[in-house]
A and B are shown apart, each in its own frame.
Chain A
Amino acid sequence: MSFSRRTAQLLHEDHQATVAVIESLDQLIAKARKKAPDISDPKVQKTLKNAGGAIEEEISQHFAFEENELFTRLEDMGDVGIGEHLRSEHRALLPLGQSVAELARDALANGFTDESWPKFRNVAAELIERMLAHIQKEEMALLPALEDLLDAETDMELSTAYADTH
């Protein structure tokens, strides 16, 4: 998707980056299945490094921005349901993202054990499923709505403030 509002475009680029990380995580799990992946493999290392950094960063900054600056504006317009639902998804995603990031960093430092791999796999699988559905909803219902929700001046203010947090 492409958007005329800069704020929507920045959030869309965040989504693209997150989907890339989530997809590589998905492939890692699909390929390894029950057997823990080889931590010395550079591809595995790259995926875990991204999972350890990008997801957590995306979740904390991106979610906070949406909740504080966008959902409130949607709700002021009377469009309550979608913002409320996305907020509840954030509540589910936040601990999952933090947990995956923590487990990925631990795996990079110490490798996977028979106990840590199934735990990582289960938490990451839930994160993948929830995150993809969440991004699909935001791409369809939130970002296009910003075209009407934000005037040019507000768009510039918000997008500049958001870009500065990255």
Chain B
Amino acid sequence: MNIPGSFLGGAQDRLLPASIPFRFFLSASVFHVLAWAVLFLAADDLAGYRGGTGLVLAAIHLATLGVLVMTAIGASYQLLPVVTRRPMARNWPTRLSFWLLLPGICAMTWGMATNALGAMSLGSYLVTLGLFVFAVLTADNLRRTGGIPEVSAHVWLALVALAVFVLIGLLLIRDLETGFLADHQGLALVHMIVASFGFMGLLVLGLSLVLIPMFVLSRSLPARPGWAQAGLSVLALTGFSTGVIFDVPPLQWLALAPGFAAAACYLWLMRMALKTSMRKRLGLPFVLMRASWGLLVLTLVMGALTLTNIGIPNGPALTGFLLVAGWLLTFLTGVLQRIMPFLASMHVADESGLPPLLSDLSAEGPLKIHAVCHLAALAACSFGILLDLTLLVQVGAALGCVGAVAFAGSAGYVATKLKRQASSN
């Protein structure tokens, strides 16, 4: 039987073995369930959360490092060689990064949940090493690139943000042991902003320039707004972080303008992709992606309102929740459910040796359950935070958990098909 995957492994091949991206995706699916489950347990503390160790911090890092970063790394390892037209130099370091990140995230979040500083430190070192391997591999691929310059620029900037948020993260953990920082809370805010808007946000903005036109079969997107969104994002991130670190509120305010402008460029580009799309029926992943674009705007508006101190109850917690669970998690689960069957189809064949249909590799039912539960969870948790109602947050987290289990089921379904194929050969 002629299986494409069996031809892989050559140093010049841009198609990685399926096991590399899928180990990241499956781990992300499990961390997704854990993040909502821990949030359920932390429901009482969520609305008033302003930082510090405990279950809320663990839930945040299960979602950010466990789901968002794992998904972004798995997707980047497979997509970057295709986008840049340069294969990864070696495959083994991609596996190494996974085996550093997986135990690292587990130890770190366990330490955060139980206030065990040793586990937190050990986990953070492992995570740092894993992210370092990812950064080196990505930088090496970009260095040799002949691909789309504005996309590469986003990824380069995301790597800079990665270095900054990791460094601050290590300082914050060290500060829990020694208390040497003058403003722990301020630096924690910068850490969160640089990690989510900087690292994850720039990856989302950059890879969307390629992924979305490919998904919808649209015209290529113009380069200038792509460059503009990257420049404006950097301006916003730098201005806001500087404003927080040196306690200059007007600078934080000023930084909102390029932040909104970057989001406007991005949404204009996405609208243009959909407007020139040759596909009419885009399916469930695009329901989630469209929702995530709305949630990006809502996050920025809520952030601005929180800065004004006009009395939005629990504004900081609500903004953080909308940013992580609203914009980023919604977007990435939409992308993930679209690319998992797509990538899997490149590695499996049916009994006749032909590639399977994408619909045969998708578990539609569980994905529908996930979408409904996820959107309901966002609404319930948001109102729970706003009204400081623990029960409502618990209902939302429980719904999120059910959705995440359904999502993990669909990811497992794809992985089982892949594994069955591998063992039959």
Contacts and interface: CB of A to CB of B under 8 A. Distances in A.
B143 to A, nearest CB: 16
B358 A91 contact: no
A62 interface: no
Contact of B147 (A15, A26, A129, A144): A144
Most chain B Cβ neighbours within 10 Å, of A15, A77, A81: A81
B354 A92 contact: yes
Contact of B5 (A81, A92, A144): A81
Nearest to B346: A85
B281 A89 contact: no
B184 interface: no
Interface string B1-31: 0101101101111110000000000000000
Given A23-B279, A27-B280, A141 B14 contact: yes
A144 B280 contact: no
Given A130-B357, A136-B215, A144-B85, A26 B281 contact: yes
User: Could you tell me the dominant secondary structure of chain A's interface residues?
Assistant: helix
B354 A88 contact: yes
Contact of B219 (A1, A30, A133): A1
Contact of B279 (A19, A81, A88, A144): A19
Contact of B15 (A15, A85, A144, A147): A85
A95 to B, nearest CB: 10
Contacts of A23: 278-280
B358 A135 contact: no
B2 A140 contact: no
B335 to A, nearest CB: 14
A84 B279 contact: no
A154 interface: no
B146 A148 contact: yes
Given A88-B355, A136-B217, A139-B217, A80 B278 contact: no
Given A23-B280, A144-B85, A133 B342 contact: yes
A1 B220 contact: yes
A19 B214 contact: no
Contacts of A135: 217
B66 interface: no
Contact of B278 (A2, A19, A91): A19
A89 B357 CA distance: 10
Contacts of B278: 16, 19-20, 23
Nearest to A145: B85
B78 to A, nearest CB: 11
A38 interface: no
A13 interface: no
Contacts of B146: 147-148
Interface in A36-95: 77-82, 84-85, 88-89, 91-92
A80 B13 contact: yes
Interface in B144-166: 146-147
Given A85-B15, A144-B147, A133 B358 contact: yes
A78 B147 contact: no
A43 B74 CA distance: 44
A89 B346 CA distance: 9
Interface of A: 1-2, 15-16, 19-20, 23, 26-27, 30, 77-82, 84-85, 88-89, 91-92, 126, 129-130, 132-133, 135-137, 139-141, 144-145, 147-148
The 8 closest A-B pairs by CB, nearest first: A78-B12, A81-B15, A85-B4, A92-B354, A1-B220, A19-B278, A84-B4, A140-B214
Interface of B: 2, 4-5, 7-8, 10-15, 82-83, 85, 87, 146-147, 210, 213-215, 217, 219-220, 278-281, 342, 345-346, 349, 353-355, 357-359
Given A81-B10, A81-B346, 18 more contacts: A1-B213, A1-B219, A1-B220, A19-B278, A19-B279, A26-B280, A26-B281, A77-B12, A79-B14, A80-B7, A88-B354, A137-B342, A137-B346, A141-B14, A144-B82, A144-B85, A148-B85, A148-B146
29 contacts: A19-B278, A19-B279, A20-B278, A23-B279, A27-B280, A78-B11, A79-B12, A80-B8, A80-B13, A81-B5, A81-B7, A81-B15, A82-B15, A88-B4, A88-B349, A91-B353, A126-B357, A129-B357, A129-B359, A130-B357, A132-B217, A132-B279, A133-B345, A135-B217, A136-B214, A140-B83, A140-B210, A141-B14, A144-B82
